[in-house]
Amino acid sequence: MRWWSRLIAGSGMASLRIRGAWITTTAKRKAIDAIRRDQVRQRKYEQVARDQPMSDNPFDESEDEDGSALEDDRLRLVFTCCHPSLALDARVALTLRTLGGLTTTEIARAFLVPEATLAQRLVRAKNKIRSAGIPYAVPSDDQLNERVEGVLAVIYLIFNEGYAASEGDQLLRVDLISEAIRMGGILASLMPGNGEAQGLLALMLLTDARRAARQTSTQEPILLADQDRTLWDGAKIADGLRLLGSALDANSVGPYALQALIAAVHTRSAASGETDWRQIAALYQALYQIAPSPVVLLNQAVAVAMAEGPERGLALIDTTQVAGVLEGYRWMHSARADLLRRSGRTAEAAEEYERAIALSENAAELAYLGRRLDDLNVP
């Protein structure tokens, strides 16, 4: 038995009854509900696709009562925005703006670029679609692979924004979480042999399974170590583990499957103190080898800190590859603040919490950071 198979089989959640139909049923219901509820987003669809050969009324629910017509039109829009003639960052940004309902500011934060730069990318992408006559259609089977990278990136960023909203009063944006899982389920069904499509859906389900335990009654975030794991959604975990098994059976393991594997390690632990942080750190190192990013190094540093102590984690964060790149990234400062607090360096921790507060525009997150800062009792 492969090591990852043992990990999945060893999870206390793996014995739960797998409800594969949950993904399809929920996806269809959410698709119909979202269309009925969100007229503004509908107009955005029509604006982007108005010059394309589409049906007279692609949002007419009478075309197909089970929602398949709606799913098909949404997919056509996603694949139009993710056409390979557009630069990858433009594909992701355009789809997030048009389909995901994110603002230009939110997308710029996700890309770690200035808002003006992101706005220019959006304008260029829209002009390219019009000038090149990019068709409004789901590509044929032999063209799917060249488009899937951009589509996966879109779904991933929509989910991330939903799971940690960059602004507003809510810590979570459940509408974006549901939309990302819905689109991920459709894509995984469309490409059953694509390990990364299966891996991304597994990652989202395993992560979203923790939603009920992730915030207080006042919507302040609860860190993973402090969560009540009995509140985790066993059905979603079981579905995620099943999909992860399919993803890891693919010819090659990509970044989404690796991240899902990291999430699976957490589900294996009945308590935070039982988590195999050394294994998680090693998985982040493997992830960095195939998808290098300062954010991956930041996450690896946190895992190392949990395994070897906060000073070791701080040493990894305080490098040009991490802190030198992520100065404007609020989670780098909040992570560093926590490690400084655990090291007893309270004055420095207070400064880092203040930097994180200055970079955040989410009310729930600000309340949490403010409380952590007050707890330090630094004059």
* 3-class secondary structure, 18: coil
Higher pLDDT, 1 or 285: 285
| Rounded Cα gap, residues 33 and 265, in angstroms | 34
167 has which bridge partners?
361
pLDDT at 7 over 70: no
pLDDT at 292 over 80: yes
pLDDT score for 359 = 93
The pLDDT of 59-72, averaged and rounded, is 42
Alpha helices for 112-233 (secondary structure H): 115-132, 141-163, 174-190, 195-208
pLDDT at 319 over 80: yes
* 3-class secondary structure, 362: strand
pLDDT at 282 over 50: yes
The pLDDT of 62-76, averaged and rounded, is 52
pLDDT at 86 over 60: yes
pLDDT score for 38 = 45
Claim: this prediction has a pTM higher than 0.85:
no
Of 138-142, 180-184, 253-257, 327-331, the poorest mean pLDDT is in: 138-142
Mention every residue, 6+ apart, whose C-beta is less than 8 A from residue 252: 195
When pLDDT is cut at 50, 70 and 90, the band that residue 101 belongs to is low
| Rounded Cα gap, residues 18 and 6, in angstroms | 18
Structure tokens given for 263 = 């999430």
When pLDDT is cut at 50, 70 and 90, the band that residue 345 belongs to is very high
Higher pLDDT, 45 or 234: 234
Block residue for tokens 């393991």: 253
The fraction of the chain above a pLDDT of 70, given in percent, is: 79
* Highest averaged pLDDT of the listed ranges 91-100, 280-289, 355-364: 280-289
pLDDT score for 10 = 42
When pLDDT is cut at 50, 70 and 90, the band that residue 2 belongs to is very low
| Rounded Cα gap, residues 330 and 352, in angstroms | 9
Taking phi over 0 as left and psi of -120 to 50 as alpha, with beta for the rest, 133 belongs to left
| Rounded Cα gap, residues 259 and 244, in angstroms | 10
Sequence spans of domains, the chain: 3-273
pLDDT score for 166 = 75
| Rounded Cα gap, residues 77 and 61, in angstroms | 17
pLDDT at 16 over 70: no
Of 86-90, 179-183, 345-349, the poorest mean pLDDT is in: 86-90
pLDDT at 32 over 60: no
pLDDT score for 22 = 33
Mention every residue, 6+ apart, whose C-beta is less than 8 A from residue 163: 172, 177, 207, 208
Reported as a single tens digit per residue, the pLDDT across 297-309 is 999 999 999 999 9
pLDDT score for 358 = 96
The pLDDT of 80-96, averaged and rounded, is 81
pLDDT score for 350 = 97
* Highest averaged pLDDT of the listed ranges 219-223, 302-306, 363-367: 302-306
